Amino acid sequence: MKPVIALIGRPNVGKSTLFNRLTRSRDALVADLPGLTRDRHYGEGRVGERPFLVIDTGGFEPVAKEGIMHEMAKQTKQAVAEADVVIFLVDGRQGMTPHDKTITDFLRKSGRSVMLVVNKAEGMRYTSVTADFYELGLGDPYVISAAHGDGVNDLVDEALNLALASRPEEQEDIDESAKGIKIAIVGRPNVGKSTLVNTLLGEERVIAFDMPGTTRDSIEIPFERDGQQYTLIDTAGIRRRGKVFEAIEKFSVVKTLKSVSEANVVLLLLDAQQDISEQDAHIAGFILESGRALVVGVNKWDGLQSDRRDEIKMDIERKLNFLTFAKFHFISALKSTGISPLMKSIDAAYDAAMANLSTPKLTRALIEAVEHQQPKRKGSIRPKMRYAHQGGQNPPIIVIHGNALEAIGESYKRYLEKHFRETFSLTGTPLRIEFRSGK
Ligand code: GDP
Ligand code: GDP
């Protein structure tokens, strides 16, 4: 499981600057998608070979008693409780404030591993920029400049070491034990996740149940269906949950993020009996952000009037219009209808996400696309695309080489994406196009 790092601190200390630096590589994937409710507070990062999840806790107001700030504080507290390490940012230029002390008190009570980090330290001496903050009693502060990047990689390395050390048991590589297609079933409470899991596991022979190590916050459940092997990533404990706990089970962003990041294909469940909520759109937004393949199940389709069916379809089109690459299935987890086609789409999304696209085939598809429609000139410059190769999988990355490619606009990029998608039948996965210009 990827370690989770939470960024915490009062407004303006540089949390989002640090967040953007840590997650920057992911941005290209979802730039400018119309209609997307982007939640820029959750993302994946990587330092060297080490991946991690990062949460920017936004404007943390530990004292708010009600209203939106109170809600945010609740979310923040939950995120902190579920994170492996907390990076507590303070502002080295402004020095210590009373608010920093309040946050320190809260963090101390949380029992998390905390790293005190003095930001905006570029061009300043360690002793002078940190002097103020020893009073917080959190040990020697780390110093960074989020804006310039100084000290950031070392900080994350330290954070990841700390995360590993604070885990309750030794981490075996659970990826190794997972067989077949790794699926995460996500969605807000009550959409039918546990019902679907039971349907999937009950119908077919379950190969194995809980892996050893029950203290782990995630379990992987292998199962087989129509000769295909799958592994269910159950971070939120959807299978284990009894009816008794249903009422108090709350939605956990961190757990959802973890399952998504471990999966090959995400199955997003929606409830056809309810309108699409902001929470649905948010979950969809960060699945998109993660770059994982996606299939959508619109659940509780049983017993719906045809009026309601039309209504929910329109609602989906209106609110989730950014999920253009995903297949939608109308199912009933309870009555077990529509499940086989859904699983077929999961297989197809996996194949698309893992596709091997050869350089000659990609280049041929590129030339076809250009012959059909040239990119526009920008002033006297005409971009010249020469060849394409595959730069990655899950999601597939197509790297296009040529000259003056920075002059290519968003809409032409989308045209290329559509062309590649159709040529190679890449349904169910995001697709990333990158340009590399020669001199
Ligand atoms: P947040 O409210 O904690 O998310 O803070 P932001 O990331 O929005 O940053 C607040 C302000 O501090 C912005 O004007 C940033 O440009 C600035 N800032 C962030 N990091 C640094 C840094 O390392 N050095 C300096 N000098 N300014 C920074
Ligand atoms: P979870 O919180 O997402 O795991 O949702 P549950 O699986 O606990 O389901 C919540 C409620 O919706 C339960 O009362 C289920 O019986 C009901 N439910 C789940 N799937 C279906 C379905 O396909 N049709 C109908 N009518 N009800 C369903």
Sequence-distant (≥ 6) Cβ neighbours of residue 255 within 8 angstroms: 82, 217, 235, 236
| Residues of the chain above pLDDT 70, percent | 82
| pLDDT for residue 266 | 97
- Closest ligand to C-alpha of residue 40 is 1
Residue 109 clears pLDDT 50, i.e. is over it: yes
Range name among 80-84, 311-315, 329-333 with the lowest pLDDT average: 80-84
Question: Do the strands 219-225 and 228-234 form a parallel or antiparallel pair, or are they unpaired?
Answer: antiparallel
The SS3 call for residue 5 is strand
Cα(70)–Cα(85) distance, integer angstroms: 23
Which residue among 12, 122, 145 has the greatest number of ligand 1 atoms within 8 angstroms of its CB, and so is best to mutate?
12
> For the stretch 28-67, what's the b/e string if a residue is b when 16 or more beta carbons lie within 10 angstroms of its beta carbon?
ebbeebeebbebebbbbbebeebebbbbbbbbbbbeeeee
| pLDDT for residue 124 | 93
Handedness of CA 411, 412, 417, 421 (dihedral sign): positive
Q: Is 13 in the pocket of ligand 1 (CB under 6 A)?
A: yes
Chain segment 343-377, per-residue pLDDT in tens: 999 999 999 999 999 999 999 999 999 999 999 88
The SS3 call for residue 266 is strand
Chain segment 145-203, per-residue pLDDT in tens: 999 999 999 999 999 999 988 766 544 444 455 679 999 999 988 899 988 988 888 74
Ligand 2 atom 19: residue of nearest CA: 192
Residue 235, marked binder: yes
Range name among 24-28, 181-185, 304-308, 313-317 with the lowest pLDDT average: 24-28
One-character DSSP codes across 377-402: PBTTB--EEEEEEEEETTTTEEEEEE
| pLDDT for residue 209 | 43
> For the stretch 286-307, what's the b/e string if a residue is b when 16 or more beta carbons lie within 10 angstroms of its beta carbon?
bbbbbbbbbbbbbbbbbebeee
Give yes or no for a cis peptide into 3 (omega within 30° of 0). Answer: no
Q: Is 20 in the pocket of ligand 1 (CB under 6 A)?
A: no
Nearest to 218 by CA among 167, 159, 181: 167
Q: Determine the average pLDDT of the residues in 76-82.
A: 82
Ligand 2 site residues (CB inside 6 A) read 187, 189-195, 238, 246, 299-300, 302, 332-334
Residue 258, marked binder: no
- Ligand 1: atom nearest CA of 93 is 26
Q: Which of the two residues, 321 and 68, has the higher pLDDT score?
A: 321
Q: Which of the two residues, 24 and 21, has the higher pLDDT score?
A: 21
| Residues of the chain above pLDDT 90, percent | 54
Chain segment 118-131, per-residue pLDDT in tens: 999 999 999 999 99
Task: Kindly report the average pLDDT of the chain as a whole number.
Answer: 84
Nearest to 96 by CA among 9, 158, 154, 17: 9
Q: Is 41 in the pocket of ligand 1 (CB under 6 A)?
A: no
Q: Is 222 in the pocket of ligand 1 (CB under 6 A)?
A: no
Ligand 2 atom 20: residue of nearest CA: 192
Task: Tell me the CA–centroid distance for residue 351 and ligand 1, in Å.
Answer: 42
Q: Which of the two residues, 252 and 410, has the higher pLDDT score?
A: 410
- Most confident listed range (68-72, 177-181, 260-264): 260-264
Residue 430 clears pLDDT 70, i.e. is over it: yes
| pLDDT for residue 283 | 87
Chain segment 194-237, per-residue pLDDT in tens: 889 888 887 444 443 444 433 345 578 888 888 999 999 877 66
Residue 267 clears pLDDT 50, i.e. is over it: yes
| Pair 271, 283: CB distance under 8 Å | no
ipTM of the complex: 0.83
Q: Is 135 left (phi over 0), alpha (psi -120 to 50) or beta?
A: alpha
Task: Tell me the CA–centroid distance for residue 314 and ligand 2, in Å.
Answer: 22
Amino acid sitting at position 85 = V
Q: Is 145 in the pocket of ligand 1 (CB under 6 A)?
A: yes
| Pair 55, 84: CB distance under 8 Å | no
Q: Which of the two residues, 11 and 70, has the higher pLDDT score?
A: 11
Phi, psi of 224 (to 5 degrees): -130, 145
- Closest ligand to C-alpha of residue 99 is 1
Residue 253 clears pLDDT 70, i.e. is over it: yes
Contacts of 144-150 with C-beta under 8 Å, sequence gap 24+, read 144/18, 144/117, 144/118, 144/119, 145/119, 145/120, 145/121, 146/14, 146/17, 146/18, 146/21, 146/89, 146/119, 146/120, 147/14, 147/17, 147/120, 147/122, 148/122, 149/21, 150/121, 150/122
Rg (CA), the chain: 23
Residue 103 clears pLDDT 70, i.e. is over it: yes
The SS3 call for residue 212 is coil
Chain segment 404-414, per-residue pLDDT in tens: 998 998 889 99
Q: Determine the average pLDDT of the residues in 267-279.
A: 93
| pLDDT for residue 421 | 95
Task: Tell me the CA–centroid distance for residue 13 and ligand 1, in Å.
Answer: 6
pTM, two decimals, is 0.80
| pLDDT for residue 363 | 97
Cα(32)–Cα(37) distance, integer angstroms: 11
